[in-house]
Structure 1
Amino acid sequence: MHSFEIKVPNRDIETALQHKIDRKTKPLGALGLLEKTARKIGLIQQTLTPSLNNPQMLVFAGDHGAAKAGVSAYPQDVTWQMVENFLAGGAAINVFARQNGFGLSVVDAGVAHDFGGQRDGLIDLKIAPGTANYIEQPAMTAAQCAQAIEQGAGIVRGLAAAGCNVVGFGEMGIGNTASASLLTHCLTGLPLAECVGRGTGLDDAGLARKQDLLETALVRYRNGGGDNDPFTVLAEFGGFEIATMVGAMLAAAEAKMVLLIDGFIVGSAALVASCLAPALLDYCVFCHRSAEAGHRTQLLAMGAEPLLDLGLRLGEGTGAALAYPLVQAAVNFLNEMASFESAGVSDKE
């Protein structure tokens, strides 16, 4: 697997950034999390005047073999049908991306459907038509997992070369909350029950069934000597969309971009990526706290303070797109707001 050179941002500029933030015409700390976000972006870009250029939203799509076993309330066909909806511009993420000036691409990392050759807005990186059923065997081979990571990295390197320095991450894949639950359990050590939620809307019986199926998958893995190595866990339980996203995140951090992290499934990719390269977290802006049960666990594990808490659980990158105006506001106040000195405003005694 490609090794990524992700460095912790140089802290030498931090004092100057904090001073600039503190001298704005406001009480100390009065802009709360926006101040921390401004400081983080200044550190990422190593400048007192950061800028957000050519923001791009990537929606990674893939199918899961375990979906056929009943871990989701929806049939697997919904994955490809929603990809068609994205390509037609009709999904929530299309609306919010248009509103906030994002370019939008859908990455077919492993959808069980033929989209019929080249399509505008679709990046074909299909590894296979869905993963294997991890209840019975590993979701993917080590080679497939490494290929997904490498292909995801390639997309982002292309975006960086085209002048993009902000990437939003979204996903689509029926069954992927189950996958994210297993990844979260393995990498945080929290009980599986605290990592499993209703996904697309399971009732109580469906939730119990989902939990039983995931327990079965874990028993199979542990009995085979499975450990909590992040790459192994990703290959064992991940989806092609999650593995491709891991590679895209690693390449984005390597290129010193701002990573906009969406909810639970994108969070599971960030969790894997940060276990592989802890410095990745210095490049992540966590956009919202999902209503999905395991997301709080992930955020705690990554020491993340999300910008929004709106009870969202749609995925697609919607939380990242909705939070983007706040990220812009953080950069804009740093660049445009007057200081006590420049405005001639008296400071506190």
Structure 2
Amino acid sequence: MSDGSLNLDDFGDLIERPDSGVRRDAEERRVRTGLPAGALGRLDELGEWLAAAQGRVPVEPVSRPKAVLFAGDHGVARLGVSARPAGGAHALVRAALDGTSPAAVLARRSGVPLRIVDMSLDCDPDELPAEVTRHRVRRSGGRLDTEDALTAEEAERAFRAGMAVADEEADAGTDLVVLGDISVGGTTAAGVLVAALCGTDASVVTGRGGGRIDDLAWMRKCAAIRDGLRRARPVLGDQLRLLATVGGADLTAITGFLLQSAVRRTPVVLDGVVGAACALVAQRVAFRAPDWWLAGSASGEPAQAKALDRMALDPLLDHGVTAGEGTGALLALPLVRAAAALAAELPVRREPEEGEGSAAAEPDADRTGAARMLDAT
């Protein structure tokens, strides 16, 4: 893509897996701590994954995470498929900017900067900060059940915007991204993508969404996904066209962000059904890309479960959180940080010298100050 053209096939060559040799070294280091196998459960696996992503042992603590939320409205929301009003995503964005949304509260309490990227909100861009709206592609999206969500040109712009945000975060030193979305109608678009890519029917992937819609709204949503699925199936071989047909600007940007983050070796924690659907599209583009992602939390949405199962990603948490906006991924972040801290700071046993008995525990030279402070208490 260096010549300016956008060829999604290039990602297959550009994306490499996290370093398997480093992962083996991390496993060996874990054995040398002397803790019983399995004592730390999934935290061992997370620590080894981070070491492979960073390319170093012991792993560095996660010190510069960022929550990145892509925002947009979807024309399909006009059918009454959401508990929120069509075109209402800008109110959710304003709450996040004001620090009153669940994601904003969790990010603030965790010391995680929150970045919102408006791709297709249905409001005047002057209502929001210029930093939020500078990547906007259009105002709302087409109704995916009867028309394309984006034009081909808009889809390329949205995809490139996602790539640009990934590059900006990598260049800024972000060492882990908590990824989320702020949308009205986004779970309907996600359901279409998952049903199309998994070859299943609309009813299998239709969930209640973040607002827990009633039965009548669920039937309208199921019908919209069914109609969108008919339009999606003929373009399954072209992932960018698929996103233009039924995805919308925010989902297209998230897909570009995920792929470019994998190119830049930036690990990402996914949140909710929208992120899972975009990850599934990205996997079709580059099969190694999912090795750079974690599933933060199970939302209970059937489409999310279907997509994660297809990618062999097992959520870290399952608390039934459906708020979206990166909330589930933010809840999982302390686990990831704990895994990094344990992998970095647990002392290892040195190899016994000739004539010595069992190896004694000897702290690594690069243990952090936090570990030494614990020793002193």
Using the size of structure 2 for normalisation, the TM-score is: 0.86
Q: Superposed, which structure 2 residues align to 1:142-161 within 5 Å?
A: 142-161=152-171
Aligned-residue offset at 1:341: 4.5
Q: Give the 5 Å matches for 1:108-257.
A: 108-116=118-126, 119=129, 122-199=132-209, 200-222=211-233, 225-257=234-266
Alpha-carbon distance between aligned partners in 1 of 2:236 and 2:286, rounded to the nearest angstrom: 18
1 CA distance for matches of 2:94 and 2:270? 23
SS at match of 2:85: coil
Show CA shifts across 1:119-156 (max 9, x none). 27624211110111111111112221111111111112
**Structure 1 gap ranges (5+):** none
Distance across 2 between alignment mates of 1:77 and 1:296: 27
Residue equivalent to 2:56: 47
Q: Which of 335, 350, 373 is the aligned partner of 1:326? A: 335
Segments of 4+ moved more than 3 angstroms: 225-229, 340-345
* Count of aligned residue pairs for this structure pair: 343
* Matched residue, 1:57: 67
Task: Please say which structure displays the higher CA radius of gyration.
Answer: 2
- Once residues 70 and 227 of structure 1 are traced to their aligned partners in structure 2, the CA distance between those partners, rounded to angstroms, is 27
* C-alpha contact 2:202 2:229 (8 A) present in aligned 1: no
Give me the whole-angstrom Cα distance separating, in 2, the residues matched to 1:94 and 1:27. Answer: 38
User: Which position in structure 2 is the counterpart of 1:263?
Assistant: 272
* AA in 1 matched with 2:309: L
The AA in structure 1 aligned to 2:94 is E
Which residue of structure 2 aligns with residue 288 of structure 1?
A: 297
How much has 1:13 moved relative to structure 2?
A: 2.1
Match of 2:311 among 299, 302, 320: 302
Aligned amino acid, residue 144 of structure 1 = E
Q: Taking CA–CA contacts closer than 8 Å with sequence separation of 6 or more, which of the two structures ends up with the larger relative contact order?
A: 1
Residues 142 and 232 of structure 1 are in contact (CA less than 8 Å); yes or no, is this contact kept in structure 2? yes
Q: CA deviation at 1:310?
A: 0.6
> Quick check: 2:75–2:86 contact (8 Å CA) kept in 1?
no
TM-score normalised by length of structure 1 = 0.93
Shift of 1:218: 2.4
Q: Compute the RMSD of aligned alpha carbons.
A: 1.9
Given residue 217 of structure 1, which amino acid in structure 2 is its aligned partner?
Answer: G
SS of residue paired to 1:133: coil
Structure 1 residues 160 and 185: alpha-carbon distance in aligned structure 2, compared to 1, 3 A threshold: same
- Please state whether the residue corresponding to 1:95 is helix, strand or coil: helix
User: Which residue of structure 1 lines up, in the alignment, with residue 77 of structure 2?
Assistant: 67
Classify 1:120/1:20 alpha carbon distance in 2 versus 1 (closer, same or farther; 3 Å). Answer: farther
Task: Work out whether 1:88 is the aligned partner of 2:104.
Answer: no
Residues 174-214 of structure 1 deviation map (CA, whole Å, 9 limit, x = unaligned)? 11110010011111223321111011221112111211122
Unaligned ranges ≥5, structure 2: 1-5, 352-358, 362-377
Q: Structure 1 residues 230, 109: closer, same or farther in 2, change over 3 A?
A: same
Partner of 2:360: 344
- Conserved 8 A contact 1:42-1:48: yes
Counterpart residue number, 1:20: 29
- Cα 1:53–1:75 change in 2 (3 A) is same
